[in-house]
Copies of this chain bind each other. A is one copy, B any other.
Amino acid sequence: MADIGALLSPNAVAVIGAAPDDSILRGRILHVMMQHPFAGAVYPVSRSFDEVQGLKAYPSIEALPERVDLAIMIIPAKFVPDELERCGKAGVKAVQILTSGFAEEVGEDGAKAQQRLRDIAERYDMAVVGPNSEGFASTKVALCPTFSPTFHNQTRPMVPAWRKTGHLAAVAQSGGIGFAFYDRGRPKELPFSYVATTGNEAVINCFDIIEHIIDKDDTDAFLIFMEDVKNPETFRRVAEKAMRAGKPLIVTKVGKSAAGERAAASHTAALSGSYSTYQAMFRRYGIIEGADTDEMVEMAMGFSLFGHCLPKGKRVGIVTGSGGGGGWMADTLSMTGLEVPTLDAETRAVIDALIPAYGTSQNPVDGTAGAVREIGYANLLGMVRDSPSVDAIVGITSARRASTYEDERENLSKLARETEKPILIWSYTNPHEESVTSLSQIGLPLFTNSRNCARTLYEMAEYRAFRERFLRAPEIKSGANADQAIVGKALDAANEVLCEYEARPLLAAYGIGDGGARMANSAQEAADIAADIAAPVALKVQSPDILHKSEAGAVALNLKSADDVRAAYDRIMASAQAYNAGANIHGVLVQAMAPAGQEMILGVNQDEKFGPILMVGLGGIYVEVLKDVAFSPVPFGADDARRLLDRLKGVALLHGVRGEAPSDVDALVDLMVGLSEFAADFGDKISEIDLNPVLVHPEGQGVSVADALIVKSSKA
């Protein structure tokens, strides 16, 4: 495996293409590097200059006085592959390519050139990042090979000196956005260990870098901007590793819309893929999605300062000197999914003794501005923190003045140090720079946006709960089914489309009931089977060429007498012929009518990137009109299945909301788990499975799969 350590902490660096003029990119990058005290040597490599910005320049990578771990490359695209080859020969272990004009370019030449980069990187086992990237910053070694203006003429240290823990890394395909995370976070006194930008990801992708940083264990949360996932296996491995290590991944994914997809494709040649699949993958690993830089950075701030004591629940106490701010925050927290309960009587009595009659202790605790000053902000926060009614605190403040927290610095620091419940501060006014710094030194996160504050707390609570489940969950096994080999062989032997009668026996091996359906090849045979079943039956044509059987008039329901069955058989055959004269008709399936139940739809679709994704929805109009469906990768366990159902807006229908008996959710969950295992075991062979409709009967009476279809993958 290529050595990303050589990228982020090299012995020395060559800058290939460095120029004297720092108003152009090729000059700026060296200029920026020289502004930071990287301990190793920096060697300009230039064909045109002997000296660049006061440093001796070398005509080629081979001419350097020592072997360097890292080369930064900013030369015209057409020279890049040969230069990369030379780097490989010279023993360079990592190369960051900033040059644009590869796969993101219109036409095929760029893609070919990018393939060449991949080949060379592989040959020399080099960690090649880019092309079309904006460089990186590795603050621990004060190395900033980037032309981002963010690291240009910095007036403050790269990292606030007092922040020894809670480091963040920004990892992004987009250079602009990657450095924007830093640029937005640094003024909030957030400590960044790394900013890495990966551009086209010809070789190394975001998750390779994240994995390296997780393993290094000097970073506690990640801000990630991605246009696509280049390598699903890496993504899965790293996402799981991050959750096990308790290092949150806060992600935004571009390409949610047609225009966004277009932009990503043209920007870094990303194939963004289905956003709903990405969302399902993010949920699978507890990855937190953010919608804008401010929100993502403020969420990271919460984890940076209170990642070690995430809230145990969603009950929040509010302390405020502004009544309006308190009310607004109470609404905001409530609308975000948190609770703002009235405090317990004991806590209220303590507070009531201290505040004026026009204040209130109920929650929000509105001490009034004057009383807060008298009691002390730290004291009041501490009193609410001690209430058994809350899991976390939001303190509202106006951080507008420079000295707001100086009087209470010691008490606030003690509070921040000793609390076992997170305390988040929201300033309704623009905070003064010095107040930002003093709160950071005190150890309390200062939010400027009320919704971001609320969402951060929500995600902190969710993350804790998710991680506890994740660590506790038994490993879900695929490949555990005794009949896997038999089913696999049957699948291999089958045609591309497996009609219900062909699909059912295979699904049955995974506990998906076959409903006692049997095939008939004549009207009389159908009547005989119906007589055996001795209950009203349904007849359905079985043909790989007629997938919409109802539309073709090739279904008959609720048939009771032998005559009816025979007549229906003939009618179905005639309709099927009329609908598609050339259709290959295998026969007619006869099965008992399913009793009534809540209609559901289950399906599996093959995602090009992430493999089989299971979908569940409430049937009929719910799916068609309201798109009330939920997705998950496979396989999954019973708890996951229940949570998946809980994501449906109409889930209450399963619980008998209209006075009906609750549905047999246990049986539905078993069905979902079985289907997820089937999909996992044969993910490479199938492109689609439809169980539609599935009828969920009242509790204890199971489910009926009323129709089933499997379409094999054309690649299998």
Give A contacts to B, CB under 8 Å: 25, 100-102, 104-107, 110, 132, 149-150, 152, 172-180, 183-184, 187, 225, 227, 252, 254-260, 262-264, 266-268, 291-294, 318, 321-328, 330-335, 340-342, 356-360, 362-364, 366, 368, 370, 398, 400-401, 428-430, 448-451, 620-621, 624-626, 649-650, 652-653, 657-658
Contacts and interface: CB of A to CB of B under 8 A. Distances in A.
Given A101-B358, A256-B335, A268-B323, A398 B227 contact: no
A263 B180 CA distance: 37
Contacts of A100: 356, 358, 368
Contacts of A252: 328
Contacts of A263: 323, 326-327, 330, 360, 364, 366
Contacts of A172: 324
A180 B428 contact: yes
20 contacts: A100-B356, A101-B358, A104-B358, A106-B358, A152-B401, A180-B325, A180-B428, A184-B429, A184-B430, A187-B430, A225-B324, A225-B328, A255-B331, A259-B331, A260-B328, A263-B364, A267-B327, A268-B323, A292-B450, A621-B650
Given A173-B324, A325-B174, A327-B263, A357 B105 contact: yes
Given A176-B324, A293-B450, 19 more contacts: A102-B358, A110-B357, A152-B401, A174-B325, A174-B328, A176-B323, A176-B325, A177-B324, A177-B428, A180-B398, A257-B340, A259-B330, A263-B326, A263-B364, A266-B323, A267-B323, A293-B428, A621-B653, A625-B650
A343 to B, nearest CB: 11
B327 A227 contact: yes
B451 A292 contact: yes
Contacts of A625: 649-650, 652-653, 657
A250 to B, nearest CB: 14
A204 to B, nearest CB: 17
Given A183-B430, A358-B101, A331 B254 contact: yes
Nearest to A267: B323
Contacts of A359: 266
> Which of A292, A366, A649 has its CB near the most chain B CB atoms (within 10 A)?
A292
B259 A340 contact: yes
A266 B360 contact: yes
Nearest to A325: B176
B173 A400 contact: no
A98 B63 CA distance: 77
B624 A650 contact: no
A107 B357 CA distance: 9
List 5 tightest A-B contacts by C-beta distance, closest first. Answer: A174-B324, A267-B323, A257-B334, A176-B322, A263-B327
Given A175-B324, A331-B260, A430-B183, A658 B621 contact: yes
B266 A366 contact: yes
Contacts of A132: 358
B626 A254 contact: no
Contacts of A325: 174, 176-177, 180
A427 to B, nearest CB: 9
A324 B149 contact: no
A150 B358 CA distance: 24
Nearest to A173: B324
Contacts of A179: 429
A425 to B, nearest CB: 15
A362 B624 contact: no
Contacts of A150: 400, 429
Nearest to A368: B100
A285 B172 CA distance: 43
Contacts of A621: 650, 653, 657-658
Nearest to A252: B328
A101 B370 CA distance: 13
A107 B358 CA distance: 10
Contacts of A259: 318, 330-331, 333-334, 340-341, 363-364
Contacts of A368: 100
Contact of A398 (B149, B328, B450): B149
B262 A358 contact: no
Contacts of A364: 259, 262-263
B429 A180 contact: yes
Contacts of A291: 332, 451
A107 to B, nearest CB: 7
A218 to B, nearest CB: 25
A178 B429 CA distance: 10
Contact of A330 (B260, B321, B356, B363): B260
Nearest to A327: B263
Contacts of A227: 324, 327
Contacts of A330: 254, 257, 259-260, 262-263
Contacts of A341: 259
A267 B649 contact: no
A101 B176 contact: no
Nearest to A400: B149
A657 B360 CA distance: 53
A657 B624 contact: yes
